[in-house]
Amino acid sequence: MDLLKTIKEIVGPDYVSDADFIRQSYGKGIAGGLIEKRPDYVVRPHSVEEISEILKVANKEKIPIIPRGGGAGLLDGVLPPKEGGIVLDMTGMDEILDFNEDNLTVTVQCGITWAQLNTFLMERGYYTGSLGPGSGMSAVIGGGLSHHSVGGGGAAKYGAVTRHCVGLKVVLANGDIITTGSGASKYIKEPFSRWGLGPDLTSIFLGDQGIMGIKVEATLLIYPKPKYRSYRTFMIKRKAPKVVSKILLDYRKAGDLGIYDAFWLPDLSVAAGLGLIVSEFTVFKLWKEVNPKGKDVFFYTCEAESEEELEQNVKKLNELALQNKGVEMFGPEIEDGNIAKWHYEKNGHWQIYHGFWGAAGRGSIPQTAEHHIPIHQIPQMMDALSKWESENQDLLMKAGPAIHGLGSALLCDHTTVEMDSGLIVFNKPEFREINEKLWKSNLEMVVRSGGMPYMAGMRYSRALIDAGAFSDPYYNFLKAVKYALDPNGIISPGKFYLGGKE
């Protein structure tokens, strides 16, 4: 079969390519220094029907299909497990299909970015609550839902983005097109809930790392954007892991304080920031003056519908933070060192920490081990990270040296905290083997220490299996679900060691 000819007939000649330079540009994840795996073809479909036709062909011919959104995942979620296959670049499907103010939902094609969607919504007084991942300017809805994303803003108040999805349109491996949630009933014209028509089958495709089907449309709940906001930043002079853990838990136990985001920047990140002072940057400039030793920094953002409510909540949030020994508060303005305000009002997004990825020096890149844990386990996890670092000191030195640690942590659903730990390594061929070894070991250590992968991609999903996290009956159950939906294992093969010829 002339596959290229067939795909051209489906999507048109402009939207499929087997050119080497195009395949190469899809052959690396964000951890760009690692082994490149080129797909055979890259396709940019523009309709659900096109995707369905492509899957029918791929399923028949047993060709791997790798769905890809913004390509901003950090764990090789968009790479073929080996050379070959078809990458489905979903970014051509970026329409807002239904903005429903009566239902407070929005239905979109899954290739739209979180930032595009929220720009549209905020111009109308709404937002998706949780604004996607930290890379939400480039990351798309489909990827966020596949990864159970947090970090783009709003995670403390709204939790991960998956909580707000009330239905999906999915193309299955055999080309069937299904609608989940209330949209599964032909009598329900406006999706509004995931439950009520039997088990919640939407969830099979949420946080699935893209292995269960191709998400093509999603309906998300939307929320009115509160009118008032406040931001405060604190320095934590001693025992930061314990203090941060206590502050965050106290916030949760105090009930609804309107907290929208809460971030902890450990001393490693603050020190990196302090070492990189530029005179124009008032936040770090002040940090250098008042926090010269680079102590940990903690900050929050809260929202309210009235000034009174905001004032009351800010008072309580500050009290709960300041009651801990060694915690000091910066002034309220950006010029006072209030980085939280800077994030929202000047920088415009929670993305400063991406700059830290280069923190090891020229050509350095992240090899993340981001994970979720309960708030109260922060100190134990920090101990586990330190222990691993000591045990691997020689290897880290040989890798450049590579840097290991916690870049930041943020409050998510209920008592969950997302720990942005991992490695910063050098993107050079001579370090690739050692980088691979360090990364694998680091991911497995986090799994064994009780961390739950944030985004799993290829790397973490395999680390779960390699570390023996799943019991046989559970893994068999996962396999059974996967192969019921995708008997030939063509969709995103390799993750969790499922699919393909493995």
Partner 1 sequence: MTESERYKHIKKLKDMIISCSGIGDCRIGFRPTVGRFGVCPSYEHSPGFEPYHARGKLRVLYGILEGTLEPSEELARIFFQCPTCGSCHAICHQSYDENINWFICNYIDHTKAWEAFRADLVEMGLAMPRHKELIQSIEENHNPYFEKHEDRIKWLSGRQFPEKADTLYYMGCTEPYRLPEYAQKMVEILDASGIEYTIAHPDEWCCGSIALRTGHLKIAKELAEHNVEAIQKKGVKNVVIHCAGCYRTFVKDYPEILGKELPFKVYHATEFFLDLVNQGKLKLTKNINKKLSYHDPCHIGRAAEIYEPPRELLKKIPGIELVELKRNRENAWCCGAGGGVKSAFPELAVEIAQDRIKEAEEIGVNTIVTACPFCVRNLRDSAQSLKKNEFNVIDILDLVTDAIEK
Q: What secondary structure does DSSP assign to 316-374, as a single string?
A: HHHHHHHTSTTEEEPPSSGGGT-HHHIIIIII-SS-GGGGGGGTTSTTEEEEE--EEEE
Type of residue found at 406: L
Binding of partner 1 by 185 (CB under 8 A)? no
Which of 125, 196, 224, 355 contacts partner 1 by CB under 8 A? Answer: 355
Type of residue found at 82: K
Binding of partner 1 by 193 (CB under 8 A)? no
Nearest to partner 1 of 457, 499 (CB atom) = 457
Listed ranges 169-177, 229-237, 241-249, 354-362: which one lies at the site for partner 1 (CB under 8 A): 354-362
Binding of partner 1 by 404 (CB under 8 A)? no
Q: Name the phi and psi angles at 381, rounded to 5.
A: -65, -40
Q: Which residues ranging from 18 to 37 are in contact with partner 1 (CB under 8 A)? A: 19-22, 24-30, 32-33, 36
- SS in 3 state form for 92-112? HCCCEEEEECCCCEEEEECCC
Which of 128, 146, 180, 427 contacts partner 1 by CB under 8 A? Answer: 427
Nearest to partner 1 of 7, 382 (CB atom) = 7
Q: List, in order, residues 6 or more apart from 76 with CB less than 8 Å away.
A: 29, 31, 34, 457, 458, 459
Q: Under rule CB under 8 A, how many of the chain's residues touch partner 1?
A: 64
Which of 10, 17, 146, 209 contacts partner 1 by CB under 8 A? Answer: 17
In whole angstroms, the minimum distance from the beta carbon of 226 to partner 1 comes to 16
Partners of 127 in beta bridges: 223
Let me know: does 393 contact 403? Beta carbons within 8 Å.
no
Q: List, in order, residues 6 or more apart from 316 with CB less than 8 Å away.
A: 254, 257
User: Is 286 strand, coil or helix?
Assistant: helix
Which of 281, 470, 475, 483 contacts partner 1 by CB under 8 A? Answer: 281
Partners of 345 in beta bridges: none
Let me know: does 154 contact 350? Beta carbons within 8 Å.
no
Residue window 232-271: x/- pattern of binding to partner 1, with contact defined by CB under 8 A: ----------------------------------------
Binding of partner 1 by 70 (CB under 8 A)? yes
Q: Which residues ranging from 111 to 130 are in contact with partner 1 (CB under 8 A)? A: 113, 115-116, 118-119, 122-123
Binding of partner 1 by 71 (CB under 8 A)? yes
CA distance 133 to 457: 14
In whole angstroms, the minimum distance from the beta carbon of 105 to partner 1 comes to 21
The token pair that represents 200 in the structure block: 């919640």
CA distance 489 to 410: 35
Binding of partner 1 by 187 (CB under 8 A)? no
Q: Which residues ranging from 133 to 152 are in contact with partner 1 (CB under 8 A)? A: 135, 137-138
Which of 108, 244, 327, 365 contacts partner 1 by CB under 8 A? Answer: 365
Which of 348, 386, 477, 484 contacts partner 1 by CB under 8 A? Answer: 348
Q: List, in order, residues 6 or more apart from 148 with CB less than 8 Å away.
A: 160, 161, 162, 206, 207, 454, 455
In whole angstroms, the minimum distance from the beta carbon of 392 to partner 1 comes to 23
In whole angstroms, the minimum distance from the beta carbon of 417 to partner 1 comes to 23
Residues of this chain that bind partner 1 (CB under 8 A): 14-15, 17, 19-22, 24-30, 32-33, 36, 42, 44, 70-72, 89, 91-92, 113, 115-116, 118-119, 122-123, 135, 137-138, 275-276, 278, 280-281, 284, 344-349, 351-352, 354-355, 357-366, 427-429
